[in-house]
């Protein structure tokens, strides 16, 4: 346990982790004390505007992906998310459409103009996934897949690095450094919830919004929050989005379903996606926070 130093006013200050090793890497950024802006198909993450990346959990069909993408664009979402390769805990669950999913994403990008954020799980597929993606997502389960981190670090494609669900802040930043030391410094961190006693009792995990402040102090990397996976309940996504923006997140990653979607027919995270009208509400929260100091 680190001890808590006592401040001048007699209160106990929260200790910050010793990140001196990591500063070696961050010092290569132009100015490590200001947020590094990561541009994804002309959308800047880390600037004054909150960026909302939204879309289906998984690419399940062309029509579903295009339908959700149009709803995202209409609500003002800036980038489209959607998994072609899905990391599923249960090997019997739907694993994603793979290559066919990538083709669908590329076509939907062509039709809507939205940049694509999609997950890569296999170091051998980095180049292939990157050909249909504007940002590569490293999922929670892959945060410490070091060959994968190294491989995405060799590309110039922006990376969305999700926190492993039991990773400390330091472990998470070490994962980021695996990417950065290969030359790719376009990294955005994503808090998605950490495992706690609630696991499968009433939620998936606890959204750790406490981490935003120390992270913002410790690194120049932008940080966004995924309120969809921790809550496991779409009705909680809008309030959690408000909390994340208030806590200083640079953006959000939100799962969306089509208007009037038959959730029972969805093959992945059927209860997590917000309907388009809730996404519109989340967008106005994000816009309200645009100019506020974080």
Q: Which residue ranges make up the site for Mn ion (CB under 5 A)?
A: 57, 269
Q: Which of 162, 185, 232, 289 binds ligand PEP (CB under 6 A)?
A: 162
Q: Which of residues 84-123 bind ligand PEP (CB under 6 A)?
A: 87
CA 203/CA 233 separation, integer angstroms: 8
Between residues 105 and 169, which has the closer beta carbon with respect to Mn ion? 105
Site track 235-274 with ligand PEP (rule: CB under 6 A), x = hit: ----------------------------------------
Site track 183-212 with ligand PEP (rule: CB under 6 A), x = hit: ---------x--------------------
Q: Which two tokens stand for residue 186?
A: 């376009």
Please tell me whether residue 57 binds ligand PEP under the rule CB under 6 A: yes
Q: Give the residue at shortest CB distance from ligand PEP.
A: 139
Closest distance to ligand PEP from the beta carbon of 108 (Å): 17
Please tell me whether residue 140 binds ligand PEP under the rule CB under 6 A: yes
Closest distance to ligand PEP from the beta carbon of 204 (Å): 8
**Piece in contact with ligand PEP (CB under 6 A), picked from 36-44, 133-141, 149-157, 243-251:** 133-141
Residue 83 near which of ligand PEP, Mn ion, none (CB within 5-8 Å, type-dependent): ligand PEP
Q: Which of residues 213-232 bind ligand PEP (CB under 6 A)?
A: 229
Q: Which of 55, 139, 222, 276 binds ligand PEP (CB under 6 A)?
A: 139
- Contact positions vs ligand PEP (CB under 6 A): 57, 83, 87, 139-141, 162, 192, 229
């Amino acid at each position: 346990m680190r001890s808590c130093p006592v401040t001048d006013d007699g209160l106990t200050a929260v200790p910050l982790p010793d990140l001196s090793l990591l500063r070696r890497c961050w010092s290569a950024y132009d100015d490590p004390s200001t947020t590094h802006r990561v541009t994804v198909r002309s959308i800047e993450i880390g600037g004054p505007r909150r960026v909302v990346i939204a879309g289906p959990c998984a690419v399940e069909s062309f029509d579903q992906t295009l339908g959700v993408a149009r709803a995202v664009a209409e609500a003002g979402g800036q980038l489209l998310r959607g998994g072609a390769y899905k990391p599923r805990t249960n090997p019997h669950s739907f694993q994603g459409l793979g290559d066919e999913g990538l083709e669908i994403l590329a076509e939907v990008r062509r039709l809507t103009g939205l940049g694509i954020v999609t997950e890569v799980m296999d170091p051998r597929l980095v180049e292939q996934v990157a050909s249909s993606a504007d940002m590569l997502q490293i999922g929670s389960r892959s945060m410490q897949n070091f060959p994968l981190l190294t491989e995405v670090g060799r590309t110039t494609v922006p990376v969305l690095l999700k926190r492993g669900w039991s990773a400390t802040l330091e472990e998470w930043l070490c994962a980021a450094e695996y990417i950065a030391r290969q030359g790719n410094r376009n990294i955005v961190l994503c808090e998605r919830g950490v495992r706690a006693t609630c696991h499968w009792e009433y939620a998936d995990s606890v959204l750790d919004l406490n981490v935003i402040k120390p992270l913002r102090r410790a690194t120049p990397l932008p940080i966004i929050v995924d309120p969809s996976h921790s809550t496991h309940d779409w009705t909680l996504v809008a309030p959690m989005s408000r909390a994340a923006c208030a806590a200083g997140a640079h953006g959000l990653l939100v799962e969306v379903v089509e208007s009037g979607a038959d959730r029972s027919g969805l093959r992945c995270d059927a209860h997590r996606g917000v309907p388009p009208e809730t996404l519109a509400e989340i967008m106005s929260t994000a816009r309200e926070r645009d100019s506020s100091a974080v």
